[in-house]
Amino acid sequence: MRRERVTSLESMNHKVKITVYRWAGQKWFFRISGECVECDLVVGQVRRLLSAHPDWPVELEVKPWLTHLWEALRHGGWHPPVVFVGERLVRQGTIATRAELEAAVWQALEADIEIQPGLWSRIAKRLPPAPS
């Protein structure tokens, strides 16, 4: 079953985006200049996951939480570090495990495959049933 997934992943054109909002940034006259060990660990965890799976069509985006406050809050990210895989909130306020991240990425990739069916599967759905 894994081999089928990998072959279908290689033909995908769309990328799944992992977004991490770190405890940093500035908004109006507020500025966060402290460091966040949890945020560093989460970013490192995601980078290790992506380096272990170089064939995945996944990209990492790291944003300062306070600078992108309204964007993070709109999706439900109240407490950094906030991790999103696609549009799905995976974890906030604590460090996401590698297994949790990997499962979320697989779900996003499989959902993208289901949304992007091939030409033959679209044609086959419209054909009448075979005569018996």
Residues 113, 118, 120, 124, CA torsion sign:
positive
Residue with tokens 């990210």: 77
Domain of residue 116, residue span:
2-126
pLDDT of 23 reads 78
Q: What's the predicted TM-score (pTM) here?
A: 0.70
Confidence of residue 48 (pLDDT cuts 50, 70, 90): very high
Smallest CA-to-CA distance from 24 within 62, 67, 54 is with 67
Does any domain span residue 54? Answer: yes
Does any domain span residue 131? Answer: no
pLDDT of 50 reads 92
pLDDT of 14 reads 65
pLDDT of 79 reads 85
> pLDDT tens across 108-118, in order?
888 765 555 55
**For residue 88, what is the domain's CATH number?**
3.40.30.10
Residue with tokens 């060990």: 37
How many structural domains compose the chain?
Answer: 1
Does any domain span residue 132? Answer: no
DSSP H/E element including 61: strand 58-64
Euclidean distance between CA atoms 43 and 24, whole angstroms: 13
pLDDT of 73 reads 87
Does any domain span residue 76? Answer: yes
